[in-house]
With several copies, the nearest count.
Chain A
Amino acid sequence: MSGAPSTSTISHEDVLAWLRVYAQVIADNRGYLTDLDAAIGDADHGANMDRGFKAVIAKLMDTADKDISTTLRTVGMALISTVGGAAGPLYGTLFLQASQAAAGKTALTLSDWATMLDAATEGVIKRGKAGPGDKTMVDALVPAVQALKGAIAAGQSFPEALQSSARAAEHGMQSTLPLIAHKGRASYLGERSAGHLDPGATSSYLLIKAAADTWAGSY
């Protein structure tokens, strides 16, 4: 996607690349996410996310010359006004909070990225009032943030830290399988929600993984 910059930071261009990759990942997994949502929700998560990220891509045409924070804000606003459902406000908030945390930055260090993801996750938790174990996207995001912070403390390299957070998000996503949902639409199913992956946790894992994959050679 992006060329490999010489510094060990994430450029605006890298962020754009990540968003483009994720939009493609969502398009590819549209049916999968919707099937997950059909089992314990209302069969629209894939369509919702795909509609949102198609709108994001269209909007990003105009922001190539803006900065990281502006881009992320644009993403958040586009998601809020096109996705709807639970995912719209939640992913919208995620990107708006990340945007605020990135204010003024022209490139992101590993610790910038950790701070942003932390703020983004806090935003999601505040908006949706879900905690870990409620079988939501929070179950993928929180471990990703924790893994990032741990990686920094352990002195891992940027690529290693990204891989750690992606793996943690994956485990978090998988941890939703046996859970009984307490938040969102799946909670109406009560015990019948157990035995299915949470669609939002899955799309959140894919978001973290897209960052790790896209930025693998960018530092």
Chain B
Amino acid sequence: MKKLINQPDDVVRESLEGFAAAFSGMIRLHVDPVYIVRADAPAKGKVGVLSGGGSGHEPMHGGFVGYGMLDAACPGAIFTSPTPDQMQEATRAINGGVGVLHIIKNYTGDIMNFEMAADLARDEGIEVASVIIDDDVAVKDSLYTAGRRGVGTTVLAEKITGAAAQQGRPLAEVADVCQRVNGYGRSMGVALTSCTVPHVGHATFELPEDQMEIGIGIHGEPGRARTALQPADQVTEMLMEPVIADLPFKTGDEVLLFVNGMGGTPLPELHIVYRKALQIATQHGLKVTRSLVGPYMTSLEMAGCSVTLLKLNAELTALWDAPVCTPGMRWGM
């Protein structure tokens, strides 16, 4: 394992300390329990937006705390959902009196921990709504499984929902916006290499030079299938076609195209994937009116990417364009 770390058990704490120091103007780090919160929280009269999940996906979620996006984020151990006490205290810290929305990626651990936290917060008299993001078309959805994973759409949902909350909309409306983003977003990912969890010390899985994992999540887990490594254009097709087919996205739809890097893949490769994804979207009659390209939701140093398509309308586009000022996403201010 080659990493710029000290002790594996200190990775999350030390990186959060560095992160908080580097972005002290925007965010504060609370310890015991651990959460990252907007420097100016709570915003009175504004719905608080909280997300969280395992660490190892940076900049998500802590990097999305700030004006116009999240009010707080709870980081867990690497690839491990945070605990209810973190979420409960963070919920309290960002409650401006009009309730808090929990944005939860659909993983059993995240769901259960957030559920417990919401119960605890409600016991304190805080109004809590929850939206579960489950946009990964690589996973078969079924009542008899854990359902689809929450992947790329989470980033878009946090931006758009945060903008709605920033406008001062009430909790039910903010939750509704988030729900609609989840309904309109679809993603799929591919890995060229595994990642190495620091306290494990070796790669989670071995992937030969000529193979790739298609349909991966964001926790260094193997994907749905292992196939021969393909040129970028073919890989992009393998990701885009199931995504487009699933909603389904239709001729004339305005969409946001998001090519996300898994951490170890450099920008030029993401742009090569974007190039092809744009061609495929255009061939399907989709109008790509907004784009996002970069490592926004990573799996440590994994090489690979995911593509997300989000169907837009005037309202969602305006919320996407609204000012945002966070360590990981910033425009308009």
Contacts and interface: CB of A to CB of B under 8 A. Distances in A.
Contacts of B82: 84
B191 to A, nearest CB: 13
Contacts of B77: 44, 47-48, 51, 84-85
A189 B224 contact: yes
A185 B107 contact: yes
Contacts of A48: 77, 80
B84 A185 contact: no
A81 B109 contact: no
Nearest to A190: B224
Given A185-B146, A187-B146, A127 B112 contact: yes
B204 A80 contact: no
B145 interface: yes
B217 interface: yes
Given A43-B79, A190-B140, A85 B109 contact: yes
B204 A84 contact: no
Contact of A86 (B109, B140, B225): B109
Interface string B111-123: 0110110000000
B146 A183 contact: yes
B197 interface: yes
B61 interface: no
Interface string B1-45: 000000000000000000000000000000001000000000000
B220 interface: yes
Nearest to A192: B222
A82 interface: yes
Contact of B112 (A81, A89, A190): A89
B78 A189 contact: no
Nearest to B138: A188
B80 A84 contact: yes
Contacts of A87: 109
B139 interface: yes
Contacts of B140: 190
Interface stretch (A34-42, A60-68, A107-115, A147-155): A34-42
Nearest to B113: A89
Interface in A132-171: none
Contact of A85 (B81, B146, B217): B81
Q: What range describes how many residues of B lie at the interface?
A: 35 or more
B46 interface: no
Contact of A188 (B84, B115, B149, B200): B149
Nearest to A34: B200
B127 interface: no
Given A42-B204, A43-B200, A44-B80, A185 B113 contact: no
Interface string A53-77: 0000000000000000000000000
B221 interface: yes
A189 B112 contact: no
Contacts of A184: 108, 146
B76 interface: yes
Interface string A85-102: 111111000000000000
B242 to A, nearest CB: 14
Interface in B133-147: 138-140, 144-146
B159 interface: no
Interface of B: 33, 54, 76-85, 107-109, 112-113, 115-116, 138-140, 144-146, 149, 197, 199-200, 204-205, 217, 219-222, 224-225
26 contacts: A38-B200, A41-B221, A42-B79, A42-B197, A43-B200, A48-B77, A80-B83, A80-B85, A80-B116, A84-B54, A84-B76, A84-B109, A85-B109, A86-B81, A88-B113, A89-B112, A89-B113, A89-B115, A127-B112, A128-B108, A128-B112, A182-B144, A182-B146, A184-B146, A185-B146, A185-B221
Given A80-B116, A85-B77, 5 more contacts: A44-B54, A89-B109, A128-B108, A187-B145, A192-B222
8 closest residue pairs by CB, A with B:
A89-B112, A42-B219, A85-B109, A86-B109, A85-B80, A86-B108, A42-B79, A84-B80
